[in-house]
Structure 1
Amino acid sequence: MDLSALALARDLLRCPSVTPRDAGAQAVLADALERLGFTVTLLPFGPEPIHNLYARLGTGGPHLCFAGHTDVVPEGMTASWSSDPFAGDVRDGLLYGRGACDMKGGIAAFVAAVARLLAQRPLRGSVSLLITGDEEGPARHGTREVLEWMRAHGEAPDFCLLGEPTNPRELGEVIKIGRRGSLNARIAVEGRQGHVAYPDRADNPVHRLMDVLSELRARTLDAGTEWFEPSSLQVTSIDVGNAAHNVIPQEAGARLNIRFNDAHRGEELASWIRDVCARHGTGCRAEIAISGEAFVTEPGSAVTRLVESVAAITGRTPRLDTGGGTSDARFISTMFPVAEFGLVGASMHQVDEHVSLANLAALDDIYLDFMQRFGL
């Protein structure tokens, strides 16, 4: 089996592992890891089930864990692609395919780096992989459940490197050391339907919903913190479903999202939203889901070594950042320190997703250099 980054990436791309399907992707990865001497544990969770795996090589310290996901988002209209999205085609120095940069390319680069290290000398310490098939989906039966399994089995890495595509345009721009929290809320206001000419005989829920949203929007949540920009509340939908001009509707609803920094906890914000709703009548209620808390990994020796590795290979000193959406780092951070660094993500989730072969090879070099600096 060819364990180069390009060969392994192409093998993974040929598996159409659109969440929640695995389509053989983790079998490809498990085979590669077992050939390198890893002990691979398959961890299916949930009713589907979702495919996950945990693999470890070595028993001592230091212990570095690499995390990632083999699932991908849907390819969309295949006819819009310049080639089959699951063929792993190479053209003009680019590797094409759904998941090329998010994030099968990153997984392939890490495994290739481990193979190169083992070809040079015996491993010092331990290296492991936490791989899920549920990152792009609901994330209920993926990393969170693998972490619980790790806790129960005494697996406690010193540091975790998540291989998400962190770079906007060029390799070496950004290392993510944290992520904002995310809260989703659906607000429903129950009124009393009636004729618009007789408003005294009705209770207009749209007006009360507007008052609720105005009060929520009026609050400045914070001015930002050391590592985070200001928290942001965004109304994403207002729904009434009223087709008549002369009818006051029975119910009105809205959806909103708050991306919050480490000045807040999700439940604190949820309580605030519920309190605001309560002030606007018994018919106003909120359904709230917190998909992740804000976290930051304070820069220490591992992050410093990662910065040094990126700079040594790319010639760029990456900035430490906490922006963007959520990732499985929100779960990992509850158990051990984690930072994220991977490929350029400019084409992720798009038609003709791709990664340059030069960047794929450079990421392989960065991961190898980081493992050596980490003490492996």
Structure 2
Amino acid sequence: MSSHDSIPSPSASTTPDATTLLQGLVRCPSVTPAEAGSLAFLESVLAPAGFAVSRPVFSEPGTPDVENLFATIGSGAPHFVFAGHTDVVPPGDPARWSHGPFEGAIEHGMLYGRGAVDMKGGIAAFVAAALGYLAEKPDHRGTISLLITGDEEGPSINGTVKLLEWAAQRGHRFDAAIVGEPTNPNALGDAIKVGRRGSLSGTIIVTGTQGHVAYPHLAVNPIPQLMKLIRRLTAEALDHGNERFDASNLEFIGLEVDNKAWNVIPAEAKARFNIRFNDEWTPETLEAWLMARLEEAAGNEIEFELVMEPTKSTSFLTHSPALIDTLANAIETVTGRRPALSTSGGTSDARFVKDYCPVVEFGLVGQTMHQIDERVAIADLDALTAIYRRFLNDFIG
């Protein structure tokens, strides 16, 4: 199928394949937080197959409203959930793409488009797998649900965290979940993410005394003082990792001085940082570690403030043989690879799901996510669908 061929209507078949579904999703320009037809498209596929579909919109002052989707079919245990997001990052300059970022073009066995890997491809695969499983086993036991947000690439305030609360308030109790993020570094089947490090952000603000650069004795320059504090925080490692997690790391990601003049010593300087931390830390112990070293370096000479950002992103590790072993066996059966159990990388919405049930992440190869010419191999898309399908059969059936 070329990018100019029309996509068959989702209702034309009870089991559309993952490629057809992915093209439909890619052609919805759902740059976060826009829904752009992506959830409506999924509803048009799921509702005819018997899913009860809800699309709640959540709000928070100072943040954009976000539409989400919760679809469920069946009853009783086990209640399994596929989770993911249809929102994508901006495509950048479309002229730099080999094919339009929202065309869903196919060339040489690759499907191009923003979100093809992160993570509309994962959604297309698990929707196709669920529909195929239900068509084969209409009298299946248990419950299958899909929990899909439009806020993962954004502030993650009006998305999965609220959708989980919404579902729990309506009596849904989940037994296990897979988040379809692109987890594989090189080839499909490389790795399952069984945990993640946490994320904590903050700002150091140093207050000086503004003055003329020709009269430094009448001013206090906050920039060298801030650099002294930065050097102290980067002088030692937070930890060296353990058998479960990589080492925690602190990275400064921004320096800010509100001063456009060449002849003025500024009154204030700021440094923003982010820490990715393992299970040896909590946000509270990290803040105490930071404050102790900043106070040591500042002494009585530097006036500073440490401002920490709120976080719901703490480290976690999933212990569920029923989930992990069943998925690993399905991966090995389809790909011939036994996946490593990994906790590396950034955060995902699994950090919210973990509060409701055991959760792992497994999806496509992530090499082109967020890049120009983001793309997925059709063969990988089909194989991922087969993995999810086998997992459903073994976990539920």
TM-score of the pair, normalised by structure 1: 0.95
Written as runs of structure 1 = structure 2, the 5 A alignment for 1:1-376 is 1=10, 2=13, 3-46=16-59, 48-121=64-137, 122-195=139-212, 198-242=215-259, 247-278=264-295, 280=298, 283-291=303-311, 292-376=313-397
Q: Secondary structure at the match of 1:167?
A: coil
Distance 1:218 1:334 in 2: 35
Kept in 2: contact 1:33–1:40 (CA 8 A): yes
Distance 2:386 2:252 in 1: 43
Secondary structure, in 3 states, of the residue corresponding to 1:256?
Answer: strand
1:19 aligned counterpart, secondary structure? coil
Check whether the contact 1:110–1:364 (CA below 8 A) recurs between aligned residues: yes
Asked if 1 retains the 8 angstrom alpha-carbon contact of 2:320 and 2:358, the reply is no
For 2:392, give the aligned amino acid: M
Deviation at 1:220, TM superposition (A): 2.5
Residues 290 and 326 of structure 1, relative CA distance in 2, 3 Å threshold: farther
Instruction: Structure 1: state its 5+ residue gaps.
Output: none
Indicate if the aligned counterparts of 2:78 and 2:396 stay in contact, CA closer than 8 A: yes
Change (3 A) 1:244 1:119: closer
Distance 1:371 1:239, change over 3 A: same
Question: What SS class does the counterpart of residue 350 from structure 1 fall into?
Answer: coil
Q: Distance in 1 between matches of 2:159 and 2:167?
A: 12
Following superposition, the deviation at residue 215 of structure 1 comes to 2.0
- 8 Å Cα contact 1:229/1:261 also seen in 2: yes
AA of the residue aligned to 1:372: N
Distance, in Å, in 1 between the alignment partners of 2:310 and 2:286 is: 10
- Deviation for aligned residue 1:248: 3.4
Counterparts of 2:113 and 2:265 in 1: how far apart (Å)? 51
Identify the range of structure 1 (101-110 vs 293-302) with the bigger mean alpha-carbon deviation: 293-302
Question: What is the distance in 2 between the residues matched to 1:201 and 1:271?
Answer: 34
SS of 1:269 mapped into structure 2: helix
Please state whether the residue corresponding to 1:308 is helix, strand or coil. helix
Measured after TM superposition, the shift of residue 197 of structure 1 is 5.8
Q: Aligned with 2:272: secondary structure?
A: strand
Q: What amino acid is the match of 2:163?
A: V
In structure 1, C-alpha distance between the alignment counterparts of 2:44 and 2:260, rounded to whole Å: 58
Identity over aligned pairs, percent: 48
Which stretch of the first structure deviates more once superposed, 168-177 or 197-206? 197-206
- The residue type equivalent to 1:369 in the other structure is R
1:317-340: CA deviation from partner (whole Å, max 9, x where unpaired): 110111111100111112211000
CA contact (8 A) 1:266 1:290 kept: no
Q: Do the aligned residues in 1 keep the contact of 2:174 with 2:356 (CA within 8 Å)?
A: no
Deviations 1:108-156 (A, max 9, x none): 1111111211222222211101100000111110001001112212212
**RMSD (CA atoms):** 1.8
Q: Contact 2:175–2:358 (CA<8 Å) still a contact in 1?
A: yes
Report the more deviating stretch, 198-207 or 216-225: 198-207
Moved more, 63-72 or 228-237: 228-237
Residues 182 and 290, structure 1, Cα contact 8 Å, conserved in 2: no
CA deviation string 1:216-273 (max 9, x = no partner)? 1223211212210110011222333556676533211111111100111113212333
